[in-house]
Amino acid sequence: MTVMTDDARYAALAARDRRFDGVFFVGVTTTGIYCRPICPVRVPGRARCEFYTSAALAERAGFRACFRCRPEVAPGAPTTPVDAVDALAAAATRRIAEGALNERSIDELAAELGVTARHVRRATETRLGVSPVELAQSARLALAKQLLHDTALPITEIAFASGFSSVRRFNAVFAQRIGKSPSRARPIADVGDRVALRLDYRPPYDWTRLLGFLRGRAIPGVEVVGDDVYRRVVHIAGRTGELEVRPAPNRSALLLAVTPELMPVLMPLRARVRRMFDLDAHPDAIARVLRRDRTIGKAVAARPGLRLPGAIDPFEAAVRAMLGQQVSVAAARTLAGRFAAQFGKRYAGSEPALSHRFPTAAEVHAVGWQRIVKIGMPAKRAVALHGLAGAVANGQLGLNTARPLDEFVAEATQLAGVGPWTAHYLAMRALHDPDAFPAADLGVKKALRGASPRAAEARAEAWRPFRSYAVIHLWTALSEGD
């Protein structure tokens, strides 16, 4: 996006322009409070406003979060890295949002990202203006504040679910940054016994088509997609439970409900759900790039809220990609159901259709490729799936860490059975990379009137850095007969 001046930000604030929700925050000097640009309160005078590109920066400057517009539920700022420092800052931010610094050190996070701790600190401070520790603290406070507002959970459970190591530390940090204790910050309104979080996005948002995409690929036993709701069994960091996602009434938001078993992993789970449903996308910025192309432009105009479906479990998405090689979507879905039933663990779900959790990479690698063949797989592909599981289990292929697209594709295609199409599809779904482009995809080829992969790649240069969104538009237009 083009860098905005403070005067332009003030104009967006005065107009309560939803396109800039989460892109910047405004601190009001006379109240000491910072808000989203869509806050319903009276717009303050220009001289009283200070603008920040993140909640963490506003908090560093001494401002407290508004209780009306609730900055903690704002969509995340969209990122389109243009160099290595940007990419590192984006990768670190993503992992911190998942709780990477809750129980680990910056040195451990840096090792995961393949750099030194100094590089991580320099990247976040240069690009975001705050340190990794400040980012982590802001993320913990945001989740804690949301849980206080939206659930009836006890303060102790909220402290640990938000990533704090102790209730004493939680109380001290919360009081220092918010200006009151957690118990005083909790609204009086009765929320019952539910554990449901509001996840805001920037409209427009095509929920119906995104749900349709997931419905056609839902794994039997693991996922259930209803008319207006998505449910699934989740296994993350040794915890297994269920989640449900549905649209919020009269809001630009989805509602995430989770079972109690998942509360200890709520921070990484919430981050993954945001990615899966592409809630941090900036539709206006994407459309501005894609509408330059005649074919894509028509598709964007017809479906302005189309999003890029991600994945909660990256390994699951990787297996689905390989199961889908040279077979129909329906056939891949059947194979995925058999795969989950054979190698996953049984789960007593809230409904009979939720009966298994998907296996981990280590579990799949432990069974051997000969058992994979028995679900109806060719031996060569079973060997490739077994090799993929081993590469993920031993860290040879990282699926949980953002990285440059070319680097990931180069690593993935070193594995047997993983070609450029599979690697780019994985980047789209598992890494949620906005610029992946499976040029050899049959749907892309058909939509582009038989263009060769080389010709498709040449044409797609104009769609950067949003080629993944262009692919989703091409697939959707093709499936709907445009």
pLDDT tens sequence across 230-252: 999 999 999 999 999 999 998 99
Q: What is the pLDDT of residue 78?
A: 67
Q: What is the pLDDT of residue 2?
A: 57
Task: Kindly indicate the confidence band of residue 1, based on its pLDDT and cuts at 50, 70 and 90.
Answer: very low
Lowest mean pLDDT among 5-19, 253-267, 398-412, 429-443: 398-412
Task: Kindly indicate the confidence band of residue 82, based on its pLDDT and cuts at 50, 70 and 90.
Answer: low
Average pLDDT, the chain: 92
**What's the average model confidence in pLDDT over 297-323?**
94
Q: Which tokens go with 402?
A: 């953002």
Task: Kindly indicate the confidence band of residue 204, based on its pLDDT and cuts at 50, 70 and 90.
Answer: very high
Query: How many angstroms separate the CA atoms of 135 and 409, rounded?
Result: 29
What is the pTM assigned to this prediction? 0.91
Kindly provide the residue ranges of all beta strands, DSSP E only, lying in 118-277, ordered along the sequence: 196-200, 223-225, 230-236, 239-247, 253-258
Lowest mean pLDDT among 1-10, 23-32, 353-362: 1-10
Tell which residue, 13, 12, 23, has the closest CA to residue 43.
Answer: 13
User: For helices 117-127 and 106-113, what crossing angle results, to 10°?
Assistant: 90
CA-atom Rg of the chain in angstroms? 22
Among residues 35, 49, 66, 69, which one is catalytic? 35
In the numeric block, the tokens 């432990």 are attached to 366
**What's the average model confidence in pLDDT over 465-469?**
96
69 counts as catalytic: no
DSSP annotation of 191 reads: -
Which long-range contacts (C-beta less than 8 Å, at least 24 apart) are formed by 290-297?
A: 290/463, 290/466, 290/469, 290/470, 290/473, 292/462, 293/459, 293/462, 293/463, 293/470, 295/447, 295/448, 295/474, 296/463, 296/470, 296/473, 296/474
Q: What is the pLDDT of residue 103?
A: 85
Q: What is the pLDDT of residue 199?
A: 96
Task: Kindly indicate the confidence band of residue 81, based on its pLDDT and cuts at 50, 70 and 90.
Answer: low
Residue 151 or residue 414, greater confidence:
414
Tell which residue, 224, 436, 217, has the closest CA to residue 319.
Answer: 217
Q: What is the pLDDT of residue 180?
A: 87
Burial class for 219, CB neighbours closer than 10 Å (0-12, 13-18, 19+): buried
> What percent of the chain has a predicted confidence (pLDDT) above 90?
81
CB of 80 within 8 A of CB of 465? yes
User: Using alpha carbons only, what angle is made at residue 142 by residues 136 and 145, rounded to the nearest 5 degrees?
Assistant: 140
277, β-bridge pairs:
none
35 counts as catalytic: yes
Among residues 150, 280, 313, 441, which one is catalytic? 441
Query: How many angstroms separate the CA atoms of 231 and 223, rounded?
Result: 6
In the numeric block, the tokens 């697939």 are attached to 475
Query: How many angstroms separate the CA atoms of 472 and 326, rounded?
Result: 19
**What's the average model confidence in pLDDT over 384-404?**
90
Query: How many angstroms separate the CA atoms of 311 and 479, rounded?
Result: 21
- Number of Cβ within 10 Å of residue 175's Cβ equals 14
In the numeric block, the tokens 């330059």 are attached to 292
Domains and CATH numbers, the chain: 6-73 (3.40.10.10), 314-432 (1.10.340.30)
CB of 195 within 8 A of CB of 265? no
DSSP annotation of 154 reads: -
pLDDT digits (tens, 9 = 90+) for 151-175: 888 999 999 999 999 999 999 999 9
Query: How many angstroms separate the CA atoms of 207 and 209, rounded?
Result: 6
